[in-house]
Amino acid sequence: MSSELLRSLWVATGETLYMTSVAAVLVLLAGLPLGVLLVITDRGGLWERPALSRVLGTLVNVGRSVPFIILMVAIVPLTRVLVGTTIGTTAAIVPLVVAAIPFMGRVVEQGLREVDAGLVEAAVAMGATRRRVVFGVLIPEALPSLVRGTALVVISLLGYSAMAGAVGGGGLGDLAVKYGYMRFRTDVMLGCLVVLLVLVQLVQWLGDGLASRFERASS
């Protein structure tokens, strides 16, 4: 592999990391509250709001059922409004975030639902406010599974970001398609795959490590 191609690989990795990490932060910021709302507005929840719960549930299901490649082109107008362009790495972040928020919401919801209802009941019986029950009981108790879920979402973002690259977003996906596939450069293709593999492993390892640290603390 020539030094020029190595440079491309280096740049592409940077772009992928940029897309994925910015998207991950935004997804976390939006997905956590969404997941909390999905849990507490449900019937028998801490803040029962059946109508809101249904609306959120439907939105999440719609978001989850649109294939990413279609979502990406379908929300082009939104992307244009938000970042002023529809091409490039920054533009690719918009569909990434939109696609992953519902996913993150469900992951958080599932984690929170695993928390024993008796703990919530105990906290309510002690006179805790809703806010304290959520931040003082639900989230700390669900922390290991929230961390694992986040790793899962970040890994999916890496995959999505490769797809976003294919339609002009840059990054490893872009490089792999343009050089590895279209110009029959197997070495570039392999290079991209290896970098992606390493990234996925890293995220998984980090997630597992953090999660089991939290678990060890409480067992």
Partner 1 sequence: MIELRGVSKVYGQGAHEVPALRNVSLRVEFGEVFGVLGQSGAGKSTLIRCLNLLERPTTGEVRVDGRDMLALGPDELRAARQGIGMIFQHFNLFSSRTVAGNVAFPLEVAGCSHAQIRERVDELLALVGLSDKAGAYPSQLSGGQKQRVGIARALAPRPRVLLSDEATSALDPETTRSVLGLLRDINRQLGLTILLITHQMEVVKSICDSVAVLERGRVVEQGKVVDLIARPGTRLHDLCYPRSVPVDAAAAPGGRRVELSLVGEHSTRPILTTLARRFGVDAWLLEGSMERVGETRVGRLLFELTGPPEAVDGALGFLREQGLTPRVPHV
Task: Enumerate binding residues for partner 1 (CB under 8 A).
Answer: 116, 118-119, 121-129, 132, 136-137, 140-141, 143, 214, 217-219
Q: Which residue has the tokens 């009981």?
A: 137
- Nearest CB to partner 1, comparing residues 8 and 145: 145
What is the rounded distance in angstroms from the CA atom of residue 111 to the CA atom of residue 107? 6
- Nearest CB to partner 1, comparing residues 88 and 136: 136
- Nearest CB to partner 1, comparing residues 61 and 129: 129
CB of 209 to partner 1, least distance (A): 18
Residue 64 belongs to what H/E stretch?
helix 50-65
CB of 128 to partner 1, least distance (A): 5
- Nearest CB to partner 1, comparing residues 116 and 187: 116
Question: Rounded to whole angstroms, what are the CA distances from 22 to 17, 26, 48, 90, 117?
Answer: 8, 6, 33, 9, 34
What is the rounded distance in angstroms from the CA atom of residue 82 to the CA atom of residue 97? 12
CB of 53 to partner 1, least distance (A): 19
CB of 152 to partner 1, least distance (A): 21
CB atoms within 10 A of CB 64: 13
Q: Note whether 38 and 57 are within 8 A (CB).
A: yes
- Nearest CB to partner 1, comparing residues 132 and 185: 132
Residue 159 corresponds to which tokens in the numbers above?
A: 């995959």
Task: Output 52-61 pairs: Cβ under 8 A, ≥24 positions apart.
Answer: 56/105, 59/102, 60/34, 60/102, 60/105, 60/106, 61/102
CB of 110 to partner 1, least distance (A): 18
CB of 52 to partner 1, least distance (A): 19
- Nearest CB to partner 1, comparing residues 99 and 123: 123
